[in-house]
Amino acid sequence: MKVELKAEEVKVEPLTTENIFHLKTFCSSACKELDDFLKENAWKEQEMDYSKTYLFFHEGVLAGYVTLLTDKQSLKHDYPHPSLAIFQDKVDKPYSSVPALKIGRICVADNYNSILEAAQYKGLGTIMFTVVLDYAKSLATKVGCRVITSHAKKSTGARFWYHKLGFQYSHKDEKVKELLDREDCESIPMFYDIKRIVI
């Protein structure tokens, strides 16, 4: 039986030169690409100010990470989801996009991945998203930021997890189906309205 983590049991730290040594201990067999990114590219991208990575610790163990960057949710692409129309209706002059904070990468270690039978813990992903949501709301008090975006990897089934959190697909249902069927498409664009008007 997996243990449900509590938010107060998890410590969040930005990736720094002082904690970067923890990266080599991280292991995610569910998605090797996300594991490799953390160890090979997260620090490089951070030094270039392309993205910022945050580490989540449980009892001193690196249990997960999230990489954030700025983004926009397009309102003008082909086959937009009908719910995106609400953003157009709120302004006198239609915009082509909505300012966003993007979850570039999000991953938990095997022992915290509730999908895996051998995992001991569950609930870390939700705690991590709550932190991201707080960051987005804080950002929105300083600059324009209305939605959180992400590209959900098809191989990991991440779209189901995002949906449970309240994310919507950026495309109409028929376009989503097409993307899911395409072998050359690795991820599905999704968005979350910070103000929860689009649900």
Residue 83, domain CATH: 3.40.630.30
**Which tens digits make up the pLDDT trace of 120-134?**
999 999 999 999 999
C-alpha distances in Å from residue 39, one per residue of 4, 8, 19, 44, 155: 27, 26, 12, 10, 20
Tell me what pLDDT residue 197 has. Answer: 66
User: What does the pLDDT average to over 54-70?
Assistant: 98
- 110, part of any domain: yes
> Using the 8-state DSSP alphabet, how is residue 166 labeled?
T
- DSSP line for 64-115: EEEEEEEEEEESSSSSB-GGGHHHHHTSSS--SEEEEEEEEEEEE-GGG-TT
- 179, part of any domain: yes
Which amino acid, 176? Answer: V
User: What does the pLDDT average to over 139-168?
Assistant: 94
Structural domain boundaries enclosing 185 = 3-193
Whole-number mean pLDDT of the chain? 92
Contacts of 47 (CB under 8 A, 6+ apart): none
DSSP β-ladder status, 147-153 and 97-108: parallel
Domain count, the chain: 1
> Using the 8-state DSSP alphabet, how is residue 171 labeled?
B
- 139, part of any domain: yes
Taking 80 as the threshold, does the pLDDT of residue 78 lie above it? no
Tell me what pLDDT residue 96 has. Answer: 83
- 198, part of any domain: no
Q: Can you tell me the distance from the alpha carbon of 155 to that of 74, in angstroms, rounded to the nearest whole number?
A: 24
**Which tens digits make up the pLDDT trace of 5-42?**
999 999 999 999 999 999 999 999 988 999 999 999 99
Asked whether 75 and 96 are in contact (CB, 8 A), the reply is yes
- 199, part of any domain: no
Asked whether 62 and 109 are in contact (CB, 8 A), the reply is yes
User: What does the pLDDT average to over 55-82?
Assistant: 91
C-alpha distances in Å from residue 113, one per residue of 26, 108, 110, 190: 13, 6, 5, 21
